[in-house]
Amino acid sequence: MPGEARIDKGVLTAREDQAAAAVASDGANRNIVDASGRVVFRGDKQIYGISLSPDDYKILVYYGNTEYVLFNRLTRRTTQLPPTIHAWTWLPDSSTLLGEVSLSGQPSREEVTSTELYIYELAGARLARIALPPPLRGVALKILDVSAKGHILVEAERVVPKPAYLGLTILEVLW
């Protein structure tokens, strides 16, 4: 079973499935390889991270800063994603991404004071801002998890005018 764990004589042993794709460890970090080592994507610069869609057919490729491309393993097409988004998270349908934009109250500071969330539908390349409930507007959010049913678990913290931990919230986004 995927990700199974078993207890054998009081010792917990966990096993993780081999990743369906990974950044090649050839020193250049420009290619993505499958589990057998075959190159499935050739990047034009260093790749800093990847994220596979839940169905394993699409690969989100992170080149650094806010530069992301999406590679579809079936069509072999690469799509540039909007550079205004700072981070992406897959939603369970494998055709929608959750975008996160971290904002700072003062451009000279790197402290995140608020977060905006967006939905990006791959079909049609539609980007739409999520209207957050009033308690989550103007606060820093951290996406912790997205459930199989599409519920988004976020941690909220108010930074200005006075720091305050607001706790965990579950968002349900209908798309």
Per-residue burial over 10-26, b if 16 or more Cβ lie within 10 Å, else e, is eeeeeeeeeeebbbbee
Best CA proximity match to 88, nearest among 78, 99, 80: 99
pLDDT per position as a tens digit, 4-54: 555 555 555 454 455 688 898 877 789 999 988 899 999 889 999 999 999
Q: Is the peptide bond before 82 cis (omega within 30 degrees of 0)?
A: no
Task: Give the whole-number percent of the chain exceeding pLDDT 90.
Answer: 61
pLDDT (0 to 100) of residue 15: 47
Rounded mean pLDDT, 124-134: 93
pLDDT of residue 107: 67
Does position 145 have pLDDT exceeding 60, yes or no?
Answer: yes
CA 21, CA 25: separation in Å to the nearest integer? Answer: 12
Which residues are within 8 A (CB) of 24 and not within 5 positions of it... i.e. 6 or more apart? 30, 31, 32, 33, 39
| Mean pLDDT, all residues of the chain | 86
In this prediction, residues 101-116 reach a mean pLDDT of: 81
| pLDDT cut 70: percent of the chain above it | 86
- Cα separation, 108 vs 37, in Å, equals 44
Q: What is the pLDDT of residue 169?
A: 92
pLDDT per position as a tens digit, 58-72:
999 999 989 999 999
C-alpha span between 17 and 38 (Å, rounded): 18
pTM given for the model: 0.81
Q: What three-state secondary structure class fits 141?
A: strand
